[in-house]
Each structure stands twice: as structure tokens, then as C-alpha cells.
Copies of this chain bind each other. A is one copy, B any other.
Amino acid sequence: MAIIKGNMVVGQSGGPTVVINQSLVGAVKQAMKHPEITGIYGMKHGIKGILNEEFIDLKQEDDAMLEKIANTPASALGTSRHKPTPEDCEKIFAVFEKYNVKYWFYIGGNDSAETCHIVNEIARKNNYELRVFHIPKTVDNDLMGTDHSPGYPSAAKYVALCFMGNNLDNRALPGVKIDIVMGRHAGWLTAAAVLGRKYEDDGPHLVYVPEHPVSLEQIVHDIDNVYEKYQRCIVAVSEGVKTPDGKLLGEGFINEKDMHGNVQLSGSGALGDSLANYVKEHSRHKKLRVRADTLGYAQRSFPNIYSDIDKQEARMVGEEAVKYAMKGDIDGSVALKRIGDYAVEADLIKLSEVAQKTKLLPKNYINKEGNNITDAFLDYALPLVGELPEPVRLKEVAVIKR
């Protein structure tokens, strides 16, 4: 099948990650190798860039600078949370026709895959040759069909380190510490809290994820039990944890909704504070020292904390998308397939497989009680984050009392 000639558009969507520019640079540099791709246009601020016809000429960027861009966290093209309407999708197609765009690479999560899917269908209906590729990206790791999502390993490393520090801090200055972790629907990032555990009594001692509903009473009960055993307790709580009646644990405190109709949770210190106060009031232990932190945007944009594998893979999925596009009449979402311990290869799956779907933590990654993460998850996630520091402890030989 003949390779079509025309312009290419590439864009970044949704929340940034620290490796999302690796995917961008991977796609751009790969595209530069192919004369069939005439112009390489970057979408300014995601879908808005197409709707407003604001494109950047990426052929004007030099190679050395592109490499530095790849190592800069957060979306270099700008991003957006705008969810396109059906009219927007028609407009996107119209703009593509106008600019002779034949290749579209969109780096994002399941909402972006959905947009890709819709626009691709419109192109087909119009007999317009368009190659549409979704390049996976999300710190939430909740995309279907891929072993994991680029962006997740680095975010998971940040979360693991944060809890490692919190564990050392809490051991030095005991009490109850609650940390709220990102992850609206799935507990992948919250589960990463356990990756830095080393000693038997290391925290987090309790982990609550959206996949397993839990009541406030149960949380207090669990904390009290851990506190009795260790005189301290660290709790990892996903922002998306639900109570058995299906409501968000944090509902009632939070009343803003984002463009996608989701309850806005990021940066909501209220959930942590409210939970801390609730635990303090309802604990069996008097005068319990309870503190809460909400890990915040640092999870997705903190510089310096990268997983090397994540960098490489994020680059690879960008490159592979362009390689697939050069193979003829195919579209899809680039996926990572684990083929060894540890190795991956690229795979191409249908846009509809990824669009608007959410991959949850499998049942065997959550313990029976629904308050901790199993070793099966370690086997999955440890190779992704790479080496972590190894904190040590004093032998603590007691001086004999006089």
C-alpha cells in the first residue's frame, strides 16, 4: 500500500507527566526521517490548538534543543482538559482537510483515545486518508491494552520515594500519617506507595484504593489496630476511594466538577484534613497525633525524579507510532507488551479498545481485607521504577539502665 504524502500534527493532552516530551520528541524525530511527512505541526494546548488553528512548525526546532525538550517535564506544546464535543470533532476534521493533514499523533489518556477514535471515524466516512495514532500517557496507569502507561513509572517512583521519606519521618516522630495520592478511578499510583518498603514494620501500613470500597469506621478500626502493633501508622489513600454506598470518601467536602463531568479531586487538601480529623475524633487512642498530606501536582511534574525505563519507553512509543503510520492503512493506539523480566515491545491495538475505558488494579494486587497491596504488585511494578535508595537503621543496642 502506498504511503500517503501530507502534513502531520502532533499534540499532548490532559495532565502533564515528566516524560510526555520524550514521546513528543520521539514522534517528531522519527517523522523527520520520512520525506512523505511534509510538515510537522505541533498543536498548541491540545485540541484547542486544532480548533483555533494554532500550530507550531516543529521542523524549525533543532536537534540538540529537542533532546533537552525531551528531558523537560510537562507538555512542551501545552495541553488542555477541553473535552471535544461532536461539533468540535467535525471541526477538527475540517481543519485537517484545510491544512492537508494526513497524520495525527495524539499523546494522552483514554479521553484522547476517544477523540482519536471519533475523528478517525469521521475521516473514514468522508473517504479522507488519515492516519490516526494515540500515544499512551498517564500517571494514572489506567489505560487498557497496554502493560503500563508511559508516565506511570516515574510518577510511581515519586510516590514510592515520598512514602519512603514519610515512613522514616514517622518512625522518627511517631503518630498517624495519612497521605492522599492521585488516581480518580484506579489505585495504581496509590499502590506504588508500597514500593519503598523494606523492613517488616515499614509503612505504608494501610493502603486504600478505589477498587475496594471502605467505610470510615473500617479505616479508623484498621488504623487503631496498626497503631497498637507499631505505635505509629502510615496510610496511603487514593483520592478516588469510595464508601460501600458508592460515594466518594471525600464527597461532601468537594463540590467542583471539571470539564469531563468528574468531581475535581486533585489538590484537594480537604479530603486529607477531614479524614485526619475524623480519625482523631473516632480513634480508641486518646490524643492521637494525626497528620495528613495531599501529594499534589509534584506527582506528575517533579523534576529530577525519573524512571530510566519510563524515559526510554515514552520515547519508544512516540517513535513506534510514526513507524506504524508508515506501514499503510492502519490506525490505533501504541501499547507496551511485556515480553520478559524485564523487557517490552511495542504493539498496536484498536483505538476503541482504549477509548473511555479504565484498567483497574487486578484483584490479586489487593489483599483480602482490602487495606493493603500484595507482593504480586511488586513483581509488576518494581521493574518499572528501577532502583530505589536503601534506608538503614541503627542496631540500637540498649545501654544498661543504672
Contacts and interface: CB of A to CB of B under 8 A. Distances in A.
Contacts of A68: 390, 392
17 contacts: A16-B173, A55-B398, A56-B397, A57-B398, A58-B394, A65-B394, A72-B168, A72-B392, A78-B172, A81-B173, A161-B303, A165-B303, A267-B291, A267-B293, A269-B292, A293-B294, A294-B294
B394 A75 contact: no
A72 B199 CA distance: 14
B61 A300 contact: no
A349 interface: no
A270 B269 contact: yes
A161 B304 contact: yes
| Most central of A57, A296, A391 by chain B CB within 10 Å | A296
Interface string A287-309: 00001111111101111110000
Interface in A178-220: 179, 196
B399 A57 contact: yes
Interface string A276-296: 100000000000000111111
Contacts of A74: 165, 168-169, 171-172
Given A39-B399, A165-B297, A303-B389, 14 more contacts: A16-B173, A18-B165, A57-B399, A68-B390, A71-B389, A74-B168, A76-B172, A76-B393, A77-B394, A98-B402, A166-B297, A268-B269, A291-B297, A305-B305
Contact of A394 (B61, B296, B390, B394): B61
Contacts of A150: none
A329 interface: no
B76 A394 contact: yes
A251 interface: no
* 3 cross-chain pairs, A with B, having the tightest CB-CB distances, nearest first: A269-B269, A293-B296, A165-B301
A164 B390 CA distance: 27
Given A169-B16, A401-B53, A291 B273 contact: no
Interface string A41-62: 1101100000001111110110
A113 to B, nearest CB: 19
Contacts of A41: 399
A378 to B, nearest CB: 18
A75 B171 CA distance: 9
A13 B139 CA distance: 37
Interface in A128-187: 161-162, 164-166, 168-169, 171-174, 177, 179
A198 to B, nearest CB: 11
Contacts of A60: 395, 397
A73 interface: yes
A269 B272 contact: yes
A56 B402 CA distance: 14
A99 interface: yes
A318 interface: no
A39 B397 CA distance: 13
Interface in A71-114: 71-81, 98-99
Nearest to A398: B56
